[in-house]
Structure 1
Amino acid sequence: MMPATSPPPSPRAERNGRLSAEDWAQAALDQIAEQGVAAVAVEPLARRLGVTKGSFYWHFPSRDALLVAALERWEKVEQEQVFGHLEAIADPRERLRALFELVAHEYKAHIIYSELLKALDHPAVQPVIGRVSERRLDYLTASFRQAGLGRLDAQNRARLAYAAYVGFLQLNLQLKQARLQHDEFEAYVDHMMATLIPSELPR
């Protein structure tokens, strides 16, 4: 999931050497969220950041190297800020509820993921999506196992939960279906949790 976007660095920041590779990677992620993977390019990002192209080439040899760095940042932030945060919740059912709530309300993260799904034919995108999807499914499966489901049931429940997430993105972002009103969306999330999360731990 994505953190809040920091304000663009100023040209003075560039001169003082404070513009980092991470700034460029975050700007690339912002660009992906707004216009897709194909829109990641050096000149518009330099304008966005208020710097010259020379700042870019100080950190990256090419646009593809920047894209790889942006995807690695996206993957790392999700792993640290989502899964790392949830590990503090001992009850697996509460952990699943917290995961559902967190994912449901990270709209920008949905947009980035949806745009990456559109670009699965890109050689830099496919392995990242593959790793992220595998990690998400493994996490869901382990949580459902800890919540009392057997191995096969937990795997199937994890697949169903993940398919519901991806399918909802397809409907709302890629197929341009009208977004649900707040109360209707919250009721949908509650329904998903009630349907997928076991009601009690085994004795």
Structure 2
Amino acid sequence: MVRRRDEVAREGRRQRLTAQDWADAALSAMGEGGLAAVAVEPLAARLGTTKGSFYWHFANREALIEAALHRWEQKATEAIIAGLASEPDPELRLRRLFSEASELAAHDPLEVSLPASAGHPQVAAVLRRVTERRVGYLAQLFVELGFPPEQARRRALLAYTGYLGHTQLTHAVPETLPAGEDGRRYLDSVLDTLMTAAPES
């Protein structure tokens, strides 16, 4: 049952949790246990509050999942793209993008756990948006590097599938990947191949 606002307000004076706090907690739970781990009572315990705080911000679990997925979309895609805007050189932008995204993905289990929940309609929708946004941005970089749009799109898809495979290995069998400086050289060699391959017919 939804609690009265004055009761929740008293709790808010103790915790002052925001909708973003709940969304971040839901994202952490998703990373640890998938979508099934997003449950109100365990999240309230994690945040040191009660269900009343949850119902102050969200109508139901689905609304929390939507907010959490939007938060992930902003943090893991839009913020990274925005952070590259000041770099005028598309090659340097591409190299920075792969370096920063690979580093973040190594510490973010959501890049692996969310695709595993792609059968859920809310997750499927955000994965479609994020995938199109990321591939579209990569394609734009390849166009800026001089490739025709169709070739740029193919190279963007190849680059993105390479990133996804690299991320999967990072979480599942990290010992198969080179580490440290060798890892950076490996990523550079992948990008060199994508950028310097002979033009396609």
- TM-score norm. by structure 1 comes to 0.84
Output the CA distance in 1 between the equivalents of 2:183 and 2:156. Answer: 21
The residue that corresponds to 2:7 in the other structure is: none
Q: Which deviates the most, 18-27 or 189-198? A: 189-198
Q: Any conservation in 2 of the 1:96–1:197 contact (CA below 8 Å)? A: no
Q: 1:18 to 1:190 in 2, by over 3 A?
A: same
Residue aligned with 1:197, SS: helix
Task: Identify which of 174, 177, 185 aligns with 2:173.
Answer: 177
Alignment partner of 2:159 out of 143, 158, 161:
161
Which one of the candidate residues 43, 46, 53 is aligned to 1:45?
Answer: 43
Aligned residues: 186
Deviation track 1:98-148 (CA, whole Å, cap 9, x = no partner) reads: 101111110366421211100000011001000000011110001100011
* Worse-superposed segment, 31-40 or 63-72: 31-40
Query: 1:178/1:95 Cα in 2 relative to 1: closer, same or farther (>3 Å)?
Result: closer
Residues 148, 198 of structure 1: 8 Å contact kept: no
The runs of 4+ residues in structure 1 deviating greater than 6 Å are: none
| Aligned match of 1:59 | 57
* Percent sequence identity over aligned pairs: 44
- Partner Cα distance (2:128, 2:137) in 1: 14
Contact 1:110–1:169 (CA under 8 A) maintained in structure 2: no
Does 1:115 pair with 2:113? yes
TM-score, with structure 2 as normaliser: 0.84
Q: Which residue of 2 is the match for residue 8 of structure 1?
A: none
- Letter in structure 1 aligned against 2:193: T
Any unmatched runs of 5+ in structure 2?
1-9
Greater per-residue helix proportion: 2
Residues 91-110 of structure 1 mapped to structure 2, 5 A cutoff: 91-107=89-105, 110=108
Larger Rg: 2
Compute the RMSD of aligned alpha carbons.
Answer: 2.1
**2:105·2:167 contact (CA, 8 Å) conserved in 1?**
no
1:88 match: secondary structure: coil
Q: 1:78 is aligned with what amino acid? A: A
Once the two structures are TM-superposed, the CA of residue 16 in structure 1 deviates from its matched residue by 4.2
